[in-house]
Amino acid sequence: MAIKVIIADDSDFVREGMSIILSVDSEFEVIGCAANGRECVELARKNAADVILMDIQMPEMDGIEATKIITEEALGKVLILTTFDDYDLVRKAIGNGAKGYLIKNHTPDKLKSMIRSVYAGVNVLDESIFAQVAKIQSPQSDGFDSSAYSSRELEIIGLIADGLSNKEIAGRLFLSEGTVKNYISNILVKSGMEHRTQIAIYYLTGKK
């Protein structure tokens, strides 16, 4: 069954371009397009969507507010697709329930991959955004429950959020890379997550 997608962007060119990219692939079905957040919400209420591609800056209602409504009403999973890589916007979008954040300078294959991930329940962040989040090294959010993890697991979670690879974490903690992978596997099981990026998002924002 095809992944049903709604595209929300105030640019006719962007909407048409993404619609063409997805429509030529039988794995995806574009069920509607919207020029602003309000149109997107109404469209999502009338049509059952799996993934909603959401721009941020749009007239009448922006993508941040539309994401909140769509999440509260369980109208679909939102993947933010924008030219903006502002960290505050990332936090607001994720805080309002967005499942992914992708900068628009993507390839068609990258877009499709991100949509598949969000559809499968995996939270995703554009690499440039993840690097920016890691550099900020924000203190963990109040929404993060540290009681579920051991002190070593918390140490590894913090290093993941700092943007370190498994190899770098192993070097920092004087562990083998295999041991680090085992720790991360245990962390994923405890948190009910599927990807290390989700761990970082949860640690930094308190949002799963």
CATH code: domain of residue 171: 1.10.10.10
Domain boundary (128, 148, 175) is at 128
- Over residues 89-117, mean pLDDT: 85
Model confidence at 177, in pLDDT bands (50, 70, 90)?
A: very high
More confident of the two residues 105 and 198: 198
- Over residues 49-69, mean pLDDT: 95
- Over residues 25-45, mean pLDDT: 97
Residue-level pLDDT at 87: 67
Q: Are 49 and 76 in contact (CB under 8 A)?
A: yes
Q: Report the chain's mean pLDDT, rounded to a whole number.
A: 87
Do both 121 and 41 map to the same domain?
A: yes
More confident of the two residues 175 and 128: 175
Residue-level pLDDT at 139: 47
- Over residues 148-174, mean pLDDT: 88
Say yes or no to pLDDT of 116 above 50.
Answer: yes
Model confidence at 131, in pLDDT bands (50, 70, 90)?
A: low
- What range does the domain containing 148 cover? 137-205
Question: How far, in Å, CA of 113 to CA of 149, rounded?
Answer: 31
Domain boundary (101, 128, 155) is at 128
Do both 142 and 103 map to the same domain?
A: no
More confident of the two residues 125 and 1: 1
Q: Are 33 and 78 in contact (CB under 8 A)?
A: no
Do both 30 and 79 map to the same domain?
A: yes
Closest CA to 157 of 121, 97, 124, 197: 197
- Over residues 156-164, mean pLDDT: 86
Residue-level pLDDT at 17: 92
The b/e string for 93-116 (b: 16+ C-beta within 10 A; e otherwise) is bbbbbbbbbbbeebeeeebbebbe
pTM as predicted: 0.65
Q: Which residue has the tokens 């993840």?
A: 130
Residue-level pLDDT at 130: 58
Give CA 177 to chain center in angstroms. Answer: 26
More confident of the two residues 123 and 30: 30
Q: How many domains does the chain have?
A: 2
Do both 47 and 117 map to the same domain?
A: yes
- Over residues 37-58, mean pLDDT: 96
Question: Would you call 18 helix, strand, or coil by DSSP?
Answer: helix
Domain boundary (94, 128, 162) is at 128
- Over residues 57-64, mean pLDDT: 93
More confident of the two residues 201 and 80: 80
Do both 147 and 54 map to the same domain?
A: no
Do both 67 and 113 map to the same domain?
A: yes
Do both 65 and 123 map to the same domain?
A: yes
Give the CATH number, domain containing residue 105. Answer: 3.40.50.2300
Do both 114 and 22 map to the same domain?
A: yes
Say yes or no to pLDDT of 137 above 60.
Answer: no
